[in-house]
Amino acid sequence: MTHQDQTHTTATSVVRRSDRRRRLARAALAVTCVAGLGIAGAGTARAAGAASATPTCSVSQLSASFGETLAGGMNHQGVVVKLKNTSARTCLLRGYPGLGLENAAHRTLPSTTHWGDTWYAKSPPKTTLTLRKGQSAEAVIAWTHANTGSSGAVHAAYLQVTPPAATSHKTLEFPEWVDHGDLRVTALAYRIHVTP
């Protein structure tokens, strides 16, 4: 073998080794990236799994009751409504309760529910509330009764309270006159500051 052939063979061998090193480095980098993505994906999946592990409170997990009665001037009236987790499992509530009126025969009466501030309290922002066993959330309900006994007033016997994301409701005794069936309610919170 001539010196020129030896030089060519040596150069070819160096190029091959250099190519092999590059390929191995690329393969190692690819494995590292995939492993990193796998770890990140597993972390994201665990976080999502933890968030979705706590269910929304179902109607069967909750009791409904009235708290403080709120009397005001200018024919305003209101009440605090509470939803309590009576089950052994932690659950979540977020948003506004649905409301409806019923007569003494439990027939639904015409009504409209307005979400937001009331005469007695500013509505807190919508927040996801975690209710452990025995914990409660509350909202403030308000209405007017200027037209008691007139054609513009609805005479209720019961109030329907539907928890957020639920399709059924709790029923509370509610012997009230409500102008035009209009009810206002705040978002649910652990505690709402009520203006006296």
Kindly give, in sequence order, each residue whose CB lies less than 8 Å from that of residue 194, ignoring residues fewer than 6 positions away: 68, 70, 80, 120, 121, 140
Q: What is the pLDDT of residue 48?
A: 47
Bridge partners for 76 per DSSP: 144
Q: What is the pLDDT of residue 71?
A: 86
Residue 44 has φ and ψ, to the nearest 5°, of -65, -40
Q: Which CATH code is given to the segment(s) 59-185?
A: 2.60.40
Q: What is the pLDDT of residue 74?
A: 83
CA 55 to CA 92: how far, in whole Å? 6
Q: What is the pLDDT of residue 42?
A: 46
Domain range summary for the chain, segments of one domain joined by +: 1-53, 59-185
Per residue in 14-39, pLDDT tens? 445 555 556 655 655 444 444 444 44
Whether pTM exceeds 0.85: no
Residue with tokens 């009791």: 63
CA 59 to CA 40: how far, in whole Å? 37
Q: What is the pLDDT of residue 101?
A: 98
Q: What is the pLDDT of residue 25?
A: 53
Residue with tokens 């009466």: 109
Q: What is the pLDDT of residue 152?
A: 81
Spans in the chain with pLDDT lower than 70: 1-52, 147-151, 196
Q: What is the pLDDT of residue 112?
A: 97
Q: What is the pLDDT of residue 72?
A: 77
